[in-house]
Amino acid sequence: MSAVVRGVHGMVNRSRRVIARLTISFLLSGGLAFGLGTPIAQAGVESTYLVLYGTQAVPAGAAQHIRASGGTVVAAYSEIGVVIARSASSSFTAQVKGDSQVASVSATARFGTQLKKGEPDAAGTATSGDFASLKGRQWDMTQINAFAAQQITPGSRSVLVGDIDTGLDFTHPNLRQNVDFKNSVSCIGGTANTSPAKWMDDNGHGTHTAGTIAAGGMDGGMNGVAPNVRIAAIKAGDVDGYFFPEAVVCAFMWAGRHHMDVTNNSYFADPWLYNCLNDPGQRAIWEAETRAINFAMHRGVTVVAAAGNENDDLGNPTVDNLSPDFPVNTNVTRTVDKNCFVVPAMVPGVYTVSGVGNLNLKSFFSSYGMPWVQATAPSGDSILQQTAAAPNGRVLSTYPAALIGGLNPARVVTICNEGQCATYAYLQGTSMASPHVAGVAALIASRFGHQDPETMTRLLNEATNPLPCPADPFNPGFFGPDGVHLAHCSGSLDYNSFYGHGQIDALKAVSGGESGNNQN
């Protein structure tokens, strides 16, 4: 997603506005062209830094030392031992490291993950005041029994979901009644800014994921999985879809401090697709972000994340040929192994979701792998799983009217009722899968009360319908990142590398294990 996703490797144009939806391109400064070391800040130009302390606490005197080193403190996260700082001094890193309590310093200039906006298949345009006109297009909600679950509970106003994304369009007629302004924030730059103008979605991706979670309250519109819960925007992705480390740390700290029930994370963070712990620069950023994620989980936040769109086995990674991707076309192929991890999908305790299409098969682009993938959910598949219910294979959700002009018109659906119009878009990617699961988690919290992440993981796993591994060799139509191996499913019906424990079922989640088992 270029604002949260990076295209499907090997089949899409790598230009800025191509492909959805979820794999994040990780952007680094030119000093990391070959994936080693830490970017070097340009002298005289102010850069942002992560200062990581050896203990999960910011020591007394840290701010004074940073100032003496030629920097200023932007934010200090004392609970996890991380400081965000800025400096224009070329010697800042060396001077800060003079403090023996500092474990590492990393410049974050141009670090981030970019989401690519995809080219959709034909969708058409509907003008109607009839809710059924869009309900009939929501094959994804039917597939997970969301509409049936809403007859038991549409969600509770006591439940708060944080969507860590590119913000959300709080003026959208299908979202605005559920937006929690008090708990929404922009983390761009590493500091929390609660001005609505700052966390307004300027990319589109965040509004789409938010709609899947909690769209509701509009005649003629669509329903998300949990149409009555509150949703807070936590903007960590900028207009171009870059998720800088300081914004990601800020986002999870905000979610933890504000006691969110669940967060959705449809992106990959960090400059590298895989962060290899034997590299000091990659390890430092991985550590800072992992500390922030753990802080949120220890505060009771269930963290749901997308597995990614590279058709890669997260349980047995071998090749990363996407990093770094900034400057453009500077990525190189490097060998990776089980000491290399994707954030947040491969952080222990995170609930990671793969994607399926309308035929209940792994989407051609979806990454997979044990022990990381816990469940699967609709992400679309415009190549191999176009059906009568999903004629273009993609997932429909809310989209900002102001940004529709940047899309292929075939992607857009507009409905109008008594002079009020709302806009929607068809997208695909595991970015679309994880908000389905985040929405189901919100329904569980609505029905049974707040759950700690460990309990929520158990309840989500129980609220699945197992899917068997396809016959081997499984050919989703595209090779994995090494260009040689096709996706291979391993494991049992109860738990396997493609689907985890199975496809999420909203009805089973809210009805004590009973389900309509609405599998195609």
What whole-number percentage of the chain has pLDDT above 90? 68
What's phi and psi for 343, nearest 5 deg?
-110, 130
Torsion angles phi and psi, residue 205, rounded to 5: -65, -45
Query: Does a structural domain hold residue 8?
Result: no
Q: Positive or negative, the Cα torsion across 126, 128, 129, 134?
A: negative
Q: Where among 53, 87, 109 does a domain terminate?
A: 109
- Beta bridge pairs of residue 424: 398, 413
Residue 120 pLDDT greater than 60, yes or no: no
211 versus 116: the higher-pLDDT residue is 211
Q: Looking up tokens 């130009």, which residue turns up?
A: 45
pLDDT at residue 210 above 70? yes
Q: Which domain holds residue 324?
A: 141-390+428-510
Residues 186 and 49 in one domain: no
Res 358 pLDDT > 60: yes
Q: In the predicted model, is pLDDT for residue 313 greater than 60?
A: yes
**In this structure, is residue 125 part of a structural domain?**
no
Residue with tokens 């969110």: 260
124 pLDDT more than 80: no
Tens digit of each residue's pLDDT (9 = 90 or more) over 16-63: 222 232 333 222 222 222 233 344 444 568 888 999 999 999 999 999
Last residue of a domain, which of 61, 93, 109?
A: 109
Q: Which residues contact 434 (CB under 8 A, 6 or more apart)?
A: 209, 264, 265, 266, 304, 305, 306, 353, 377
114 inside domain: no
Distances (CA, A) of 135 to 131, 132, 142, 219, 389: 6, 5, 9, 11, 11
Helix (H, G, I), strand (E, B) or coil at 408: coil
Identify whether residues 321 and 432 lie together within a single domain: yes
Alpha-carbon distances of 105 from 48, 54, 99, 140, rounded to whole Å: 10, 11, 11, 44
- Written as one letter, the residue type at 340 is C
Predicted confidence (pLDDT) at residue 266 exceeds the cutoff of 90: yes
How far is CA 396 from each of CA 164, 211, 246, 356, 365, rounded to the nearest angstrom?
20, 9, 31, 15, 18
pLDDT in tens, 137-153: 999 999 999 999 999 99
Name the pLDDT band for 92 (thresholds 50, 70, 90): very high
**100 and 151 share a domain?**
no
What pLDDT is attached to residue 115? 53
- Do residues 440 and 337 both lie within one domain? yes
In a domain, 275, yes or no: yes
Supply the pLDDT for residue 326: 52
Looking at the domain assignment, is residue 67 inside a domain?
A: yes
Residues 150 and 282 in one domain: yes
Q: What is the pLDDT of residue 109?
A: 58
pLDDT tens digit sequence for 242-254: 888 899 999 999 9
**Which alpha helices (DSSP H) does 139-199 contain, by range?**
139-143, 146-150, 196-199
pLDDT score for 431: 97
* Distance, CA of 108 to CA of 111 (rounded, Å): 5
Percentage of the residues of the chain whose pLDDT score is greater than 70 = 84
Distance (Å, whole) CA 247 – CA 233: 13
Q: Which of 265-269, 282-286, 332-336, 515-519 has the lowest mean pLDDT?
A: 515-519
Q: Do 56 and 187 fall within a single domain?
A: no
- Per-residue pLDDT, 9: 27
Q: Last residue of some domain: 87, 109, 131? A: 109
> Does the pLDDT at position 517 exceed 50?
no
- What's the number of domains the chain is made of? 2
Place of tokens 């298949």: 121
Query: Greater confidence, 114 or 259?
Result: 259
Q: Residue 75: beta bridge partners?
A: 84
pLDDT in tens, 222-244: 999 999 999 999 999 989 888 88
Instruction: Over range 67-79, report the average pLDDT.
Output: 96
Strand partners of residue 72:
86
Q: Residues 6 or more apart from 499 whose CB is under 8 A from it?
A: 354, 356, 362, 373, 375, 376, 466, 467
Residues 315-328 have pLDDT tens digits of 999 988 877 655 45
Same structural domain, 359 and 471 = yes
Residue 400 CA to residue 178 CA, distance in Å, equals: 16
Q: Are residues 263 and 176 in the same domain?
A: yes
Rounded Cα gap, residues 13 and 408, in angstroms: 15
Whether 317 is covered by a domain: the verdict is yes
- Output the pLDDT for position 270: 54
Decide if pLDDT at 465 tops 80.
Answer: yes
Residues 76 and 210 in one domain: no
CATH number at residue 247: 3.40.50.200
Higher pLDDT, 355 or 418: 355
**pLDDT (tens digit per residue) in 275-302:** 889 988 888 889 999 999 999 999 999 9
From the list 414, 426, 402, the residue with the least C-alpha distance to 123 is: 426
Q: Which of 488, 467, 489, 470 is nearest to 479 (CA)?
A: 488
Q: pLDDT grade, residue 459 (50/70/90)?
A: very high
- Specify whether 221 is located in the same domain as 152: yes
Question: How far apart, in Å, are the Cα atoms of 433 and each of 41, 373, 375, 461?
Answer: 37, 12, 10, 15
300 Cβ neighbours under 8 A, 6+ residues apart: 259, 261, 450, 452, 453
Greater model confidence, 263 or 334 = 263
Count the neighbouring beta carbons within 10 Å of the beta carbon of residue 61. 11
Helix (H, G, I), strand (E, B), or coil: what is residue 77?
strand
Structure pTM?
0.88
CB 390 within 8 A of CB 139: yes
* Whole-number pLDDT of residue 329: 64
How distant, in Å, are the alpha carbons of 143, 147, 276 from that of 131? Answer: 18, 13, 48
Residues 154 and 237 in one domain: yes
- 366-392, pLDDT tens digit by residue? 999 999 999 999 999 999 999 999 999
- Whether 442 has a pLDDT exceeding 70, the answer reads yes
Residue 477 lies in a domain: yes
Write the DSSP string, 256-313: HHTT-SEEEE-S-BSSSSSEETTSHHHHHHHHHHHHHHHHHHHTT-EEEEE--SS--B
Are 104 and 216 members of one domain?
Answer: no
CATH number of the domain residue 93 falls in? 3.30.70
Domain contains 481: yes
Regarding predicted confidence, which is higher, 85 or 30?
85
